[in-house]
Amino acid sequence: MPNIDPQNLPKHVAIIMDGNGRWAKKKVMNRIRGHEEGAGSVRNIVKASREIGIHWLTLYAFSEENWKRPKYEVEALMKLLSRFLKGELDEMLNNGIRFQTIGRIDKLPKYVQDRVQKTVEKTSRNKDMVLTLALSYGSRQEVSDAIQKIAKRVESGDLTSEKITEQIISDSLYTGGMPDPDLLIRTSAEYRLSNFLLWQMAYTEFYFTPTLWPEFRKDEYLEAIEEYQKRERRFGATGEK
């Protein structure tokens, strides 16, 4: 059992959940079974986060690029997502978990949008943890949306260009009001950011693992946090006090 220091937990953990397809292939199953098993890991990691005391958990569930996958796979992922939100609502309510999303939700099928909205509303008063799903999310799109928002404020006279600060940019992203991730986990031996939270991860610690997402459970999550706690975070300064 890894040794976790409760005083030095990452406030915000972001995860790129990768390898569902390869897990299914290994088991000679179709890719959809891989995503279903992946949803089991989502359940496990959400629960573990709440137990450990992680306040913010952000999961990359569907990227802007994922729309390019075959139609049947996109449809299966949408159904799985909607079923997951419905099935986990009580769990979220019983455990003080607030649910929210980042990304272009308007591109999702109407029934998924409705389910997302319902879950956001019903969990809106919860305070113990925030589960954020990135859905139809792309970091560059997020940045262009933010720039448009800021440009409109300048056009309307609410802001002048000299007054644009890092804080205003951060606040204009989908993640406005959220702290930046302290720890990023990516599974399945891929060493990329894949257009995920590019601005927000300027000082994030990275944990990469060959484990495929359906096999990533609480035991390795604790290892990732233990590894994070060994790192010295200097934010560009020297280590001297």
Q: Please identify every residue annotated as catalytic.
A: 18, 66
Minimum CB separation of residue 84 from ligand FPP in Å reads 4
Q: Are 181 and 197 in contact (CB under 8 A)?
A: yes
Of 22, 122, 149, 218, the residue at the interface with ligand FPP (CB under 6 A) is 22
Residues in contact with ligand FPP, counted by CB under 6 A, come to a total of 19
CA pair distance 97, 95, nearest whole angstrom: 6
Of 54, 82, 84, 134, the residue at the interface with ligand FPP (CB under 6 A) is 84
Nearest to 20 by CA among 73, 58, 56: 73
Minimum CB separation of residue 30 from ligand FPP in Å reads 11
Position 36, amino acid: E
CA pair distance 131, 46, nearest whole angstrom: 8
Chain position carrying tokens 């943890």: 129
Of 9, 13, 15, 42, the residue at the interface with ligand FPP (CB under 6 A) is 42
In terms of Cβ atoms closer than 10 Å to its own Cβ (0-12, 13-18, 19+), residue 177 is exposed
Binding pattern for the stretch 123-162 against ligand FPP, x by CB under 6 A and - elsewhere: ----------x-----------------------------
- For Cα atoms 37, 102, 43, give the angle at the middle one, nearest 5 degrees: 25
Of 13, 14, 15, 17, the residue at the interface with ligand FPP (CB under 6 A) is 17
The dihedrals phi and psi of 60, each to the nearest 5 degrees, come to -85, 95
Specify the residue, 136 or 172, whose C-beta has the smaller distance to ligand FPP.
136
Nearest to 47 by CA among 104, 95, 87: 95
Binding pattern for the stretch 178-197 against ligand FPP, x by CB under 6 A and - elsewhere: ----------x---------
Minimum CB separation of residue 77 from ligand FPP in Å reads 6
| Residue 21 is a binding residue for ligand FPP (CB under 6 A) | yes
Which residues lie near ligand FPP (CB under 6 A)?
17-22, 35, 38-39, 42, 61-62, 66, 80-81, 84, 133, 188, 213
